[in-house]
């Protein structure tokens, strides 16, 4: 590690003010940032810890929507159960230490291409709330490790519509428990959403062809013979062809689980 200053604001306004410095970087649960600092892949002069801001924590229902504060840890989302598929997703992240430190806001802001939460948020058609605006999930994720967040903008909450049925299925990389491929399927009325993480070089995406097929017939066999288009990730864990195959298989399993 190296020397840096740390600030611990107690309000969102204080955090925004602290992040105005060019050397400042927000610190959520630290499950990604701290290892990054240890490897000297980032070197901010000031870390602004968001862990002491009570306004960023908590889970509450608002009509047919579930609102989760950005500072809420994975373990609390896992224990909530209001949207069972989302709680199951959270329960499968990392290990107990990670789940009790990592936060939903930190995961979304980092937007790792193999993270689970982006699939859940995109698959539910959620809205990301910041200190400045509300951003639909379809506009929030813009590429690998990239989002629509601007400098000094902080995620404060996520608004998630409650679906009639939903399921998340992932094929995990056993060492990290990140998704080699993960698929989140939701159905509300006639709308079906299929969001995929871990597979594409462009990051999390909606498999629109599968959505159209499932809207006509919400059954696993509606996807027979189908495979996603686009540039799939190819690395030591799996080829592009293997990942495309997994997307199709896991989507069928998620539909069956619904």
Rounded Cα distance, 128 and 106, in Å: 12
Same domain? 118 vs 178: no
The residue ranking higher by pLDDT, 256 or 6, is 256
Tokens 């410095």 belong to which residue? Answer: 21
In percent, the amount of the chain with pLDDT more than 70 equals 99
The domain total for the chain is: 3
Same domain? 107 vs 181: no
Enter the tokens of residue 75: 């373990």
76-101 pLDDT, tens digit per residue, is 999 999 999 999 999 999 999 999 99
Residue that finishes a domain, picked among 110, 137, 161: 161
Please check the confidence at residue 39 and state whether its pLDDT lies above 90. no
Same domain? 38 vs 107: no
Look at residues 137, 142, 138 and name the one whose alpha carbon lies nearest to residue 127: 137
Q: What's the CATH number where 181 sits?
A: 3.30.390.50
Question: Tell me, what's the pLDDT at 1?
Answer: 62
Please check the confidence at residue 2 and state whether its pLDDT lies above 80. no
Q: What is the DSSP letter of 224?
A: T
Give residue 175's Cα distance to chain centre.
19
Same domain? 97 vs 185: no
Same domain? 131 vs 200: no
Look at residues 239, 138, 229, 237 and name the one whose alpha carbon lies nearest to residue 248: 229
Give residue 90's Cα distance to chain centre.
10
The residue ranking higher by pLDDT, 117 or 18, is 117
Same domain? 76 vs 151: yes
Average pLDDT of the chain to the nearest whole number: 94
Same domain? 93 vs 135: yes
Residue that finishes a domain, picked among 142, 161, 180: 161
147-200 pLDDT, tens digit per residue, is 999 988 999 999 999 999 999 999 998 888 889 999 999 999 999 999 999 999
What's the domain range around 108? 56-161
88-139 pLDDT, tens digit per residue, is 999 999 999 999 999 999 999 999 999 999 999 999 999 999 999 999 999 9
Please check the confidence at residue 27 and state whether its pLDDT lies above 90. no
Please check the confidence at residue 35 and state whether its pLDDT lies above 80. no
Same domain? 107 vs 79: yes
């Amino acid at each position: 590690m190296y020397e840096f200053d740390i600030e611990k604001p107690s309000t969102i306004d204080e955090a925004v003010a602290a992040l105005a410095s060019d050397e400042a970087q927000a610190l959520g649960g630290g499950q990604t940032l701290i290892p990054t600092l240890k490897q000297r892949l980032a070197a901010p002069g000031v870390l602004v810890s968001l862990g002491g801001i009570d306004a960023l924590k908590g889970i509450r229902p608002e009509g047919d929507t579930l609102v989760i504060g950005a500072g809420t840890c994975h373990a609390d989302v896992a224990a909530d159960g209001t949207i069972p598929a989302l709680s199951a997703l959270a329960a499968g992240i990392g290990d107990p230490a990670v789940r009790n430190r990592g936060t939903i806001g930190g995961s979304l802001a980092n937007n790792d291409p193999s993270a689970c939460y982006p699939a859940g948020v995109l698959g539910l058609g959620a809205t990301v709330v910041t200190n400045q605006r509300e951003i639909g999930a379809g506009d929030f994720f813009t590429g690998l490790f990239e989002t629509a967040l601007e400098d000094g903008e902080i995620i404060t909450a996520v608004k998630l519509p409650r679906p009639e049925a939903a399921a998340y299925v992932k094929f995990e990389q056993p060492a990290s428990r990140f998704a080699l491929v993960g698929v989140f399927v939701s159905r509300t009325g006639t709308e079906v959403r299929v969001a995929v993480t871990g597979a594409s070089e462009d990051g999390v995406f909606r498999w629109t062809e599968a959505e159209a097929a499932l809207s006509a017939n919400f059954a696993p066999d509606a996807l027979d013979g189908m495979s996603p288009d686009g540039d799939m990730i190819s690395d030591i864990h799996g080829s592009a062809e293997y990942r495309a195959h997994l997307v199709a298989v896991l989507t069928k399993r998620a539909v069956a689980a619904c």
